[in-house]
Every structure is written in structure tokens, then in C-alpha cells.
Amino acid sequence: MSRSAQICHYRVVANFSDFQLGIYFAGLAGQLPAYPVTYPGLEAAARDKLDQALFDYVAGGAGDEFTQTANQVAFQRWGIVPRMLSGAAERDLSISLFGRTYPTPLFMAPIGVLGAMHETGDLEAARTAAATGVPAVISTLMQDPLEDVAAELGETPGFFQLYTPNDRELAESFVRRAEAAGYAGIVVTLDTWTLGWRPRDLGHATFPQLRGQCLANYFTDPVFRSRLEKTPEEDPGTATITWAMTFGNPGLSWDDLAWLRGLTDLPLLLKGICHPDDVRRARDAGVDGIYCSNHGGRQAASAPALSFLPGVVDAAEGMPVLFDSGVRSGADVVKALALGATAVGIGRPYGWGIALGGAAGAAHVLQCLLAEADLTMGLNGYRTIADLGPEVLVRVS
């Protein structure tokens, strides 16, 4: 089967739950799913396939990894209240975001090592977006240049995630390249101006970028190249060290927000905002959206990201709020939407799908999540995302 045929098999359908019917009917012919249908299964399969150091880089978290685990456990503390005879035989999971309508409430969160997990990982994420209509937030850290990745998005918008370097001209160059390539928005990550304490990576004494991986956006950028005496092709080692010295901007502050806002007319989102006061300050500065996240527990110890979401949504006062961190199931997606998220980001699950099967693997993961979310809504009596709110959830022990 061709790559395009494989991906087409996972295209969205009227009710996303119909995806499971395809699996059952294929089973009548003796065909099993090509990839696991649970998160533990995906993670185990990826562990078998990837180099141990790379697997640990993706699977690992900050410190004792309590925050990473707590992100997932936080969803288990909420239960969904069933409502019967509600006419939810057909569901509508579409959302509106920055003037566009998307068929699903999902988006692919940025993963800075997709190009290490699969030889064309960043391109595969874009192809997944094109095939499913699920938008992708594409990381600054890519194995392929942002222009090449944008060309694979098809009609599905992509967003460019910016790790703001300590070189303003380089940051401006990245944003202008993203605009020219057709990205639909800029997502500025705030919580990664330096690496968090990650014992798994320290145990291997390595991380991919320091080995020159996933740095294509830097190595192809005219501003970055102007900072080098030799080209990255001639002296990749020096180029990599220059990247390491340029990557973070520990001095980035609220005083820089006007500069960031002034770089583009595209929607500007701030990723890592978790406190209501920070939401209000960002809103007053002209930011277009908030991205509530604790980086999947990878950067620093904190409370579970889900616990921040209601306060962030209240402070946003109608401004879009994207959310990620700890989402592992379709039921998790529904709970995040009920707590006010406009759209819900998927990280490691689709990353494992990329590692296992490129775009086809990632599309399979998204379809599994959508099928479960669709069934969770329908069987509990909720037809549209507008039907979801905090009142549909109860605290459980």
C-alpha cells in the first residue's frame, strides 16, 4: 500500500467513532490494527524501536518525573456526568479558532525531536495534518527547514513554535520566514530558556541537538549563517556550539512582549502561561491566544497543568486557550474541553505514532483519540463541544 493510501485510510469520517467499526470489520478478514490502540502499547512499541537514549529523551521528564505523572493522574480525578435521551446519535466535534473552522478540537503539540524519531519526522507531522485536518504546531527544532515542512501541510494550517533566541535579528528572521511560508500563527514558548533538570538525559550524558540533530532552521537561516566564519556544512561542530550559545534567552521579560507582538500580524500565542495574572497581562499586551502547558512535565516541577486550566480560562475572558500536558486518551480530551480549553494538544502519543509509522502511524493515533472522544461524548449524551462545561464533570476520589 502506498504512503498516500495508508494515510487516506485514516481520514476523518462523519462520526469519528466509525473508525472503530473499520477495525472490527477488518478483523473479520483476520486483519489486526497496524499500530497499538492504547498509549501504553504505543510507548512500549516505540521503546522497542528507538535507541534507548532517544526514547528516554522523549519519554523522560524533569527531576523525579512526578509532575509528568501528575499531569496524567489529574485527569483521573474528574468524572463525566452521563445525560440520557439527549439525541446525541451524531456528534459535531468542530471548533472555531482565529477565524477558521477545524473538524476536530485536537492539534499536534510541538515536538523538537520528530526529525530524530523518524528520518522525515517533521514532514510526516505535516503530512498527518494534511490528511486529517488536525493542525500541527511545528517546533523551531526541525530536521527539515520550516519552509519544506509548510509545503506538506496541504490545506490544513500549521503554527510555528518559536524558541526565542538571544539574538533578536535571528528571532525576527524565524518569524518572517514562518510568515512567508504560510504558517497561520506564531506560538512563543516561554518555559524553555534553558534545559530543565532531566536525569534520564543526564544519565546518557547527551541530548539530540547537541549532536547536531534537528537544527535545520538554524543552519539554513541567513542571519544565523552570518554569525559563523564557516558554513554549517563546512564546520557543523562549531555551528552546533553556536546554536547552543544562541538558543535560550534567559533575559526575556514582559518588557519584550511589545517587540514580539510587533514582529507579525499573525495570531500570537504564549505557551507556558499558567497563572491568571500572567493571562491578564498577556491579554492586555495584545496577545491573541494563551497556551496553557507545563511542557508535559519536562522542564520543571509544578502542579499538574490541568489544575491551572480553569483559572487560565476565566482570566482569558473569551480569548482562545490551547491546552496540553498529560493528554493520553479521548476521555482526557473531553475533560479538557469541559474545563474550558478551546483546543487540546497531543504530544507524546502522536510522537510515538511518527516513530512507528510516520504519517500513517500518527494519523492512527489521532483517529484512536478522536474515536474515543466521540464515543465518550455520545454515550454520555453530549452532542457538541458547546454542550461541555465544568458542570458536566464531578470530582472523584
**Residue with grid cell 480560562, as numbered in its chain:** 313
Q: Is 86 annotated as a binding residue?
A: no
Q: Is 347 annotated as a binding residue?
A: yes
How far apart CA 146 and CA 141 sit, in angstroms, is 9
Q: Is 293 annotated as a binding residue?
A: yes
Q: Which of 9, 275, 295, 364 is catalytic?
A: 295
Q: Is 2 annotated as a binding residue?
A: no
3-state DSSP of 123-172: HHHHHHHHHHCCCEEECCCCCCCHHHHHCCCCCCCEEEEEECCCCHHHHH
285-289-292 Cα angle (round to 5)? 110
Q: Is 163 annotated as a binding residue?
A: yes
Q: Is 189 annotated as a binding residue?
A: yes
Q: Is 295 annotated as a binding residue?
A: yes
Q: Is 168 annotated as a binding residue?
A: no
**Residue with grid cell 497563572, as numbered in its chain:** 275
H-type alpha helices, the chain: 3-8, 18-28, 39-49, 52-59, 66-76, 114-117, 121-132, 146-150, 168-181, 199-204, 216-219, 222-226, 236-246, 257-262, 276-284, 305-316, 330-338, 348-380
Q: Is 253 annotated as a binding residue?
A: no
| Residue 364 among the catalytic residues | no
Q: Is 91 annotated as a binding residue?
A: no
Instruction: Please count the other Cβ atoms lying within 10 Å of the Cβ belonging to residue 237.
Output: 10
Q: Is 298 annotated as a binding residue?
A: yes
Which residue numbers belong to the known binding site for FMN? 110-112, 139, 161, 189, 271, 293, 324-328, 347-348
Which residue numbers belong to the known binding site for glyoxylate? 57, 163, 198, 295, 298
Which residue numbers belong to the known binding site? 57, 110-112, 139, 161, 163, 189, 198, 271, 293, 295, 298, 324-328, 347-348
**Which residues are known to be catalytic?**
295
